[in-house]
A and B are shown apart, each in its own frame.
Chain A
Amino acid sequence: MDKKLEKIVQVLQNKFGGTVEEFRDEAHVFVKIDQIVEALTLLRDKHEFELLSTLTVVDYWPQMSPRFHVIYQLTSLAQNLSVQLRVPVNGDQPKVPTATRVYQVANWREREAWDMFGIQFDGHPDPRRILLPDDQEGHPLRKDFPLGYEEPQFSFNFDEIDLRKPYAKE
């Protein structure tokens, strides 16, 4: 790991006490759910992490609990460094405080996380779905959401399957 990055990870660890994972020179720092906004603010104001590159979620159902990890990938242009914060979130009514007040870019990325994983962001200014239609049921990137496919119709079972097709009937 880079020397400068090591120092920043040390600061985060002293302050928030989470574990650190390292893989291929990347640092992943675990942060508790109620400290994430504070951690992001600290990184932005004190350590020049100007850019929140992305915000995404991984679902570890059913093998891990808590089930979700919310991932904050931060970039510092001034120091040319990257660091990743991970927040474990329980699957039962998942709720995370919003990062929009620290990084505006979190607005759409959090809407996407709500859309795809059903994670609520407390205090989000615009908590609507973003990519999927408003009447969509479920959150498709969760691991318990089936991939889905279309049943192929053959001449011998065409009508039978046609009855089950979802398209509108007059």
Chain B
Amino acid sequence: MPQLEEVSLDSIKHLVSERALTGETMLLNMGPQHPSTHGVLRLLLELDGEIVVNCIPDIGFLHTGIEKNMEAKTYQKAEVMSDRLDYMNTIGNNLAYVMAVEKLIDVDVPPRAQAIRVILTELQRIASHLVWLGTSGLDLAAMSVFLYCFREREAILDIAELCSGQRMMTTYFRPGGLWRDVPVEFESAVRDFIKIFPQRVDEYEKLLTKNPLFLDRVLGIGKLSGADALQYGVTGPNLRASGVDWDLRKARPYSGYEQYQFTVPVLKEGDIYARYLVRIQEMRESLKIVEQALNKLPMGPVRSENRKFVPPPRSEIGVNMESLIHHFKLWTEGFPAPKASIYSAVESPRGELALYLEGDGGPKPYRIHWRTPSFDNLAVLPLISKGHLVADLVAIIGSIDIVLGDIDR
């Protein structure tokens, strides 16, 4: 039996108040195995009775060294790991990755591929918000919302499976386009979803939006001002619920977002309720984008014709010597990227998801840095949880919508 070490406060002395050192307040460990922390997040809480005096997040339990691993793989092979970061937004991560690579090597994407990318990314955004709504509702004891949300999410994952063969780890987008065109059933599956979903959102709202039990737990809790949010690097719906109108889809349109009509919901209050309302509204807006993109989905190729970077279709390999050589070169050696660096950002369901990508002239990335939104969004938790009850802390964690795979990388 190993001897248990005496637990020492020395390493975190600067983070707790004086009263913790004298034993007046209590230090309590919450997580990493705790259902309300939405993954393996550990919080060290300094409590005065039931009031949170200090909250010290401890992360890294899900660290898998993805950035280091990606440096050892070619650009095509490294993409598979991007799904594993934020497992609620796998398609969005693929989009961030392929857009960064396309910016670095300068490849154009055909309009049909861009439109399909938008449809799938927006569906994924809805799915991600549904998981958030379900689980954060569950934290507040709203059991039925959880079950309804996962029913609709399943329909979206079915569409992803239809296209890529995988429900979650799709890797469907590739540098220069898509893996292949969508199947014929795609359109009717998305249309079915567009038809049922608005009523379903009304249904969730009926359960929560004016429910007095829900309002008691969320109104005025976990307030975050717009200035603080920017100081702490908070982005996405959390920032927009604090009164700052910033959405990369509007501000710096990519992948053809400028063609679609949608509004960016912004609220001033900055509390849990505002974050809830913003995300509910975002689901409705995303559905509008999906419908518009599907209505004017152009025909044409789904992969760039630039054979130096994009592999040729299988049918060409048997009859064309050039294609065979390109195929062989691309899948053994990979394509070279210039010796330069770029920063490319997209709007994920959680905020600004960006890559710092540097090439060294060879087929492998020299450095990939993922600017994952949850990392910075979680850093604000100590600020907004101060002075609230432990039960409210649970609601606050739910409301900032963290994904630990996104934080720990």
Contact of B251 among A50, A80, A140 (CB under 8 A): A80
Q: Which residue of B lies closest to A51 (CB)?
A: B230
CB distance from B175 to the nearest CB of A (A): 15
CB distance from A149 to the nearest CB of B (A): 10
- Whether A53 contacts B379 by the Cβ 8 Å rule is no
Q: Does any Cβ of A come within 8 Å of B232's Cβ?
A: yes
Within 8 A of A (CB), among B234-262: 235, 244, 246, 251-252
CB distance from A27 to the nearest CB of B (A): 11
Q: Does any Cβ of A come within 8 Å of B233's Cβ?
A: yes
Chain B residues within 8 Å of chain A by Cβ, number: 42
- Whether A140 contacts B65 by the Cβ 8 Å rule is yes
- Whether B343 contacts A82 by the Cβ 8 Å rule is yes
Q: Given that A53-B371, A71-B356, A141-B67 are known contacts, is A134 also in contact with B233, CB under 8 Å in the complex? A: no
In the complex, A50 Cα to B375 Cα: how many Å? 18
In the complex, A47 Cα to B230 Cα: how many Å? 15
- Whether B356 contacts A56 by the Cβ 8 Å rule is yes
- Whether A54 contacts B230 by the Cβ 8 Å rule is no
CB distance from A111 to the nearest CB of B (A): 10
Q: Does any Cβ of A come within 8 Å of B345's Cβ?
A: yes
- Whether A52 contacts B342 by the Cβ 8 Å rule is no
- Whether A73 contacts B356 by the Cβ 8 Å rule is yes
Q: Does any Cβ of A come within 8 Å of B354's Cβ?
A: yes
- Whether B233 contacts A53 by the Cβ 8 Å rule is yes
CB distance from A168 to the nearest CB of B (A): 9
Q: Does any Cβ of A come within 8 Å of B63's Cβ?
A: yes
Residues of A within 8 A of B14 (CB): 125-126
Residues of B within 8 A of A84 (CB): 343
CB distance from A98 to the nearest CB of B (A): 14
Q: Does any Cβ of A come within 8 Å of B386's Cβ?
A: no
Q: Given that A54-B354, A56-B356 are known contacts, is A23 also in contact with B342, CB under 8 Å in the complex? A: yes
- Whether B376 contacts A140 by the Cβ 8 Å rule is no
Chain A residues within 8 Å of chain B by Cβ, number: 38
Q: Does any Cβ of A come within 8 Å of B15's Cβ?
A: yes
- Whether A105 contacts B231 by the Cβ 8 Å rule is yes
Within 8 A of B (CB), among A108-165: 108-109, 116, 125-126, 128-134, 140-141, 145, 147
Q: Does any Cβ of B come within 8 Å of A13's Cβ?
A: no
- Whether A140 contacts B68 by the Cβ 8 Å rule is yes
- Contact pattern, B 354-392, Cβ under 8 Å of A = 1, otherwise 0: 101010000000110101000110010000000000000
In the complex, A141 Cα to B12 Cα: how many Å? 25
- Whether A131 contacts B371 by the Cβ 8 Å rule is no
Residues of B within 8 A of A80 (CB): 251-252
In the complex, A134 Cα to B232 Cα: how many Å? 25
Q: Which residue of B lies closest to A82 (CB)?
A: B343
Residues of B within 8 A of A141 (CB): 67-68
- Contact pattern, A 94-111, Cβ under 8 Å of B = 1, otherwise 0: 000000000111011100
Q: Does any Cβ of A come within 8 Å of B406's Cβ?
A: no
- Whether B354 contacts A147 by the Cβ 8 Å rule is no
CB distance from A163 to the nearest CB of B (A): 21
- Whether B341 contacts A23 by the Cβ 8 Å rule is yes
Q: Which residue of A lies closest to B408 (CB)?
A: A131
- Contact pattern, A 50-73, Cβ under 8 Å of B = 1, otherwise 0: 111110101100000000000101
Q: Which residue of A lies closest to B376 (CB)?
A: A105
Q: Does any Cβ of A come within 8 Å of B401's Cβ?
A: no
In the complex, A55 Cα to B367 Cα: how many Å? 14
CB distance from B121 to the nearest CB of A (A): 20
A–B Cβ pairs within 8 angstroms, 24 of them: A23-B340, A24-B103, A24-B104, A28-B341, A50-B230, A51-B233, A51-B235, A53-B345, A53-B354, A53-B371, A54-B354, A56-B356, A56-B369, A73-B356, A73-B371, A77-B244, A77-B251, A80-B251, A104-B233, A105-B231, A105-B233, A105-B376, A116-B67, A130-B60
Q: A24-B104, A53-B233, A131-B409 are in contact. List 9 more A-B contacts (CB 8 A).
A: A51-B230, A80-B252, A108-B375, A126-B14, A132-B60, A134-B11, A141-B67, A141-B68, A145-B68
Query: Contact residues of B with A, CB < 8 Å?
Result: 11-12, 14-15, 59-60, 63, 65, 67-69, 72, 103-104, 106, 230-233, 235, 244, 246, 251-252, 340-343, 345, 352, 354, 356, 358, 366-367, 369, 371, 375-376, 379, 408-409
Query: Contact residues of A with B, CB < 8 Å?
Result: 23-24, 26, 28, 50-54, 56, 58-59, 71, 73, 77, 80, 82, 84, 103-105, 107-109, 116, 125-126, 128-134, 140-141, 145, 147
8 closest pairs, A vs B, by CB? A105-B233, A131-B60, A54-B371, A56-B369, A104-B231, A131-B63, A50-B230, A23-B340
